[in-house]
Amino acid sequence: MDETLVRSLTPSVLSVLVRRGADFAAAEDAVQDALVEAVRRWPDDPPKDPKGWLVTVAWRRFLDAARADTARRRREDRVEEEPGPGPAPDVDDTLQLYFLCAHPSLSPSSAVALTLRAVGGLTTRQIARAYLVPEATMAQRISRAKRTVSGVRFDRPGDVGTVLRVLYLVFNEGYSGDVDLAAEAIRLTRQLAASVDHPEVAGLLALMLLHHARRAARTAPDGSLVPLAEQDRGRWDTAAIAEGVRILQAALARDRLGEFQAQAAIAALHADAPTSAETDWVQIVEWYDELARLTGNPVVRLNRAVAVGEADGPRAGLAALAALDDTLPRYAAVAAYLHERDGDLDTAARLYAEAAHKASDLAERDHLTRRAARVNSRRREVR
């Protein structure tokens, strides 16, 4: 059974049911039932039209549930309108489904969580990890969000900003997680950019392209992480970089700066440098200042401390870091790097080990563990 095909079809099937009048929660339940049936039957009897098969089975499951519901009388007309068998319309409703999940009645965090679960195909555990909350807490949040949008139709689309955050989180999960959704996030963002005249949509698309361009160089053959400074820049996708820069320049020319444009500008400066040593760190610090002003996000200031350390020296970076909360994610890793640059190998080794212990991602944990071992080896050589 082709799991990639099933993942790509699931949002469209869910959209078809919602468009026909099924409430969101019931539609998702019906689609999940259809997927279970597909797992059972497709290996021995694959359908000629997988989407049509899933739509037909999911719709029937929905109708079965509707007949047993206390509101059966209100749904009898819908039962009579069951379409006949045949190919499903070749319409991609995935983007509309994103807008439905970004409904104004939902908080941004609930909208993102619901979309990642219903449209992105991520598990509750993966979403909880992205939010740094317990899985049970995230499950409750998603259930509440599903109840909120039950009965909502496509005539009340949600906020573009929320949809952008959804797409950004989907991209990040696909880029660094165990589910590859990066290409899907780029596809949907292209689709959104073609239909919405908004500089931040262009900024997000540029940011995705610039990050995605470095993907091939981001890991070693053994799966270990390769830091940006050590990546083989000959493996970067120059066509994607050129497209990202072109889109970003057009967005910045409109003089409506937003956080995704600022992030893309930082990524573009990294992509433009022929070598790590030739990176324009001074300009990157300036863009981080803009980004901090736009977002007030302490993680932005954490990344800014790294840039200050590169532009003005590690002690300047440590001074910038000292003003931040040491419980921030990756604080210990940043502090370790700056102390290593400053020659304080004892502190660097301790902080790398601490950061490795706190890391939730296995690849990052391994990377930090290797950093700690390398610094410890240097300490022994010095002594």
Task: Tell whether pTM > 0.85.
Answer: no
Q: Residues 235, 181, 122, 151: what is their CA dihedral angle, to the nearest 10 degrees?
A: 160
Angle at CA of residue 247, ends 244 and 253, nearest 5°:
135
Residue ranges for the chain with pLDDT beneath 50: 72, 75-77, 79-80, 88-91
- The pair of structure tokens assigned to 130 is 């992205």
What is the model's pLDDT at position 70? 52
Crossing angle of helices 3-20 and 94-101, rounded to 10°: 70
Residues 222 and 367: their CA atoms lie apart, in Å, by: 12
- Predicted confidence (pLDDT) per residue in 148-206, tens digit: 887 666 555 557 888 898 888 888 876 555 556 788 789 889 988 888 889 999 999 99
Cα atoms in the 13 Å half-sphere on the side-chain side of 26 = 23
Closest listed residue to residue 30, CA positions, set 375, 38, 378, 290: 38
pLDDT of residue 20: 86
- Cα of 294 vs its chain's centroid, Å: 20
The radius of gyration of the chain from alpha carbons, rounded to an integer in Å, stands at 24
